[in-house]
Amino acid sequence: MSQSLDDISRQLKARHRKSRRLHWMSMTALLLAGAFLLAFLADMIGKGYPAFVQAEIQAEIHYSEMAKDIPLAAVDEDMRELVSRGFLRLIPNEMEANPELLGTTRMRWVVADDQVDQYLKGHYHQLDDEQVAIVDRLVEEGRADLRFNTYFFTNGDSKLPEIAGIQAAVVGSILTLFVTLAFAFPVGVMTAIYLEEFAPDNKFTQAIEININNLAAVPSILFGLLGLAIFINFFGVPRSSALVGGLTLGLMTLPIIIISSRAALRSVPDSIRQAAFGVGATRWQVVRDHVLPLSLPGILTGSIIGLAQAMGETAPLIIIGMIAFIPDAPNSITQAATVMPAQIFTWAGMPERAYIERTAAGILVLLSVLITLNASAVYLRKKFERRW
């Protein structure tokens, strides 16, 4: 069967059309994925930014004898429901620390109740008409305002949404990640060095390799069960502590660090090793003085990515007790601690609506840290990337 040239050119047109279609489709796919990311970030920013401001009102604080026992008495009656309890309950302590306050009255800007906050932000609130009128009057007089929310960054968790913050969770995250890194980085890099530079190619080595690939795919929640059984029940590491969290997350991060470190070690050309052996270096000297320094940027990049993943992980922490009410920042790795994603999870389940924006704001903080980590990994990779 022979085809006319017309047929062929028609066919050719169709084939090229098809070809262009694949081009467009694949481009759309990439754009779609990018659009997801944008939509997601926009949603979170939209929900989260109100939490960065917080209603404050100017109120007269009467440091009376009575306020020592009943802090509520320190403010005028019409303001009692509008001022945060988180502020009022500290008045007796304040008076004890500064006895000269007794008998004085001061005008102070104090944090407002979450209902006032929600009202000023135009959200649903539970203030009655009378209270709304008072707040409206205060706003007119310039005595109530939305101001930058420092509490969010300096306080720990609270049952009062207006003074709830992420400081304790941030400190907990740092301590936990410190343990994770201190454990997973050396062990991971050593494993990678062994497998790449020292191990003989036998069944045992292959078993280790396959096992590491498997570990990378094991669901994170199973690591939680492991942490509970081994670290807490067997070794007696205190529950909810940064130590047990860090070790559990460390085991989870281990395969990521091993896999990326191996790739980095492998990318160092053999000629370098041969040259070093040639001048009489031992295997360890070759690794320590030549291969390791050359592959360090790659190893660091992989470790940062592993760390970022550990930082966002929540599921195993439920099992080892880190999802709890822990408002004080820990000051050692054996103290109870919570981490940022755990804090986000707790807030997401709270009935008070002021927590929704705090959840989103917490997410924004966490995301900015994670994106910074990832970006620095990409930067490191670009800066030190070497083509041999």
Partner 1 sequence: MTQLMQTDQILMAFFGGLLPLGALAFFLGRSKAVRVREEGVHMHSQPDQYAWFAVFSTALPAVVLGLLASLAFLVIGQMLPAPMVLTIALAVGAGGMWWGLNAIRPEFRARDFNEASVRWALLLASLVSIITTFGILLSIVFEAVRFFQMESFWYFITGTEWSPGAAFLEGAGRAAEDASDARFGAVPLFVGTFMITAIAMLVAVPIGLLAAIYMSEYAPEKVRTLAKPVLEVLAGIPTVVYGFFAAITVAPMIVTAAESIGLEASFNNALASGVVMGIMIIPFISSLSDDVISSVPSAMRQGSLALGTTRAETIRFVVVPAALPGIISATLLGVSRALGETMIVVMAAGLRPNLSWNPLEDMTTVTVRIVDALTGDQAFESAETLSAFALGLVLFAVTLSLNFVSVIMIKRFREKYRSSNL
Partner 2 sequence: MKTIAKTSFAVAALVAGTIGTAEARDQLRIVGSSTVFPFASYVAEELGATTKWPTPVIESTGSGGGMKLFCAGNGLDTPDITNASRQMKVSEFERCQENGVTDITQAVIGYDGIAFAQSKDNDPINLTREQITLAVAKEVPQGGKLVPNPYKNWSEIDSSLPDREIIIYGPPTTSGTRDAFEELVMEAASEEIDGYGGEYTKIRQDGVYVPSGENDNLIVQKLEQNTDAFGIFGYSFLEENEDKLQGAKIDGVAPEADAISSGEYPVSRSLFFYIKNSHADDVPAMSDYVELFMSEKMIGEIGYLKGIGLIPLPKDVREDMRERVAEREQLELSDLK
Query: Measured from the CB of residue 67, what is the shortest distance to partner 1 in angstroms?
Result: 39
Is 146 strand, coil or helix? strand
**Which residue of 86, 302, 330, 341 would you call a contact of partner 1, by CB under 8 A?**
341
Show the site string, 229-258: x = touches partner 1 by CB under 8 A, - = not: xx---xxxxx------------x--xx--x
Could you say whether residue 336 binds partner 1 (CB under 8 A)? no
Could you say whether residue 326 binds partner 2 (CB under 8 A)? yes
**Which residue of 280, 351, 383, 388 would you call a contact of partner 2, by CB under 8 A?**
351
Q: Assess contact for 365 and 166: CB atoms under 8 A.
A: yes
**Using CB under 8 A, which residues numbered 66 to 85 contact partner 2?**
85
Show the site string, 153-192: x = touches partner 2 by CB under 8 A, - = not: ---x-xxx--------------------------------
Triad 105, 111, 116: Cα angle to 5°: 115
Could you say whether residue 51 binds partner 1 (CB under 8 A)? no
**Which residue of 12, 35, 41, 90 would you call a contact of partner 2, by CB under 8 A?**
90
Could you say whether residue 334 binds partner 1 (CB under 8 A)? yes
Considering only CA atoms, which of 54, 35, 7, 13 is closest in space to residue 357?
54
**Residues with Cβ within 8 Å of residue 277, at least 6 apart in sequence:** 286
**Which residue of 3, 7, 9, 28 would you call a contact of partner 1, by CB under 8 A?**
28
CA distances from 31 to 21, 25, 36, 42, 371 (A): 15, 10, 9, 16, 20
| Residue 167 or 220 having the CB closest to partner 1 | 220
Which one of the spans 4-12, 89-97, 204-212, 282-290 is the region binding partner 2 (CB under 8 A)?
89-97
Tokens 């929900």 found at: 47
**Which residue of 336, 367, 370, 380 would you call a contact of partner 2, by CB under 8 A?**
336
Query: What is the phi-psi region of residue 63: left when phi exceeds 0, alpha when psi lies from -120 to 50, beta otherwise?
Result: beta
Considering only CA atoms, which of 236, 220, 368, 201 is closest in space to residue 306?
220
Considering only CA atoms, which of 378, 371, 333, 365 is closest in space to residue 180?
333
**Using CB under 8 A, which residues numbered 164 to 203 contact partner 1?**
186-187, 190-191, 193-195, 198-199
Query: Measured from the CB of residue 272, what is the shortest distance to partner 2 in angstroms?
Result: 22
Q: Assess contact for 66 and 73: CB atoms under 8 A.
A: yes
Considering only CA atoms, which of 104, 120, 110 is closest in space to residue 89?
110
Q: Give residues in contact with partner 2 (CB under 8 A).
A: 85-86, 89-90, 92-93, 124, 126, 156, 158-160, 236, 238-240, 321, 323-328, 332, 335-336, 349, 351-352, 356
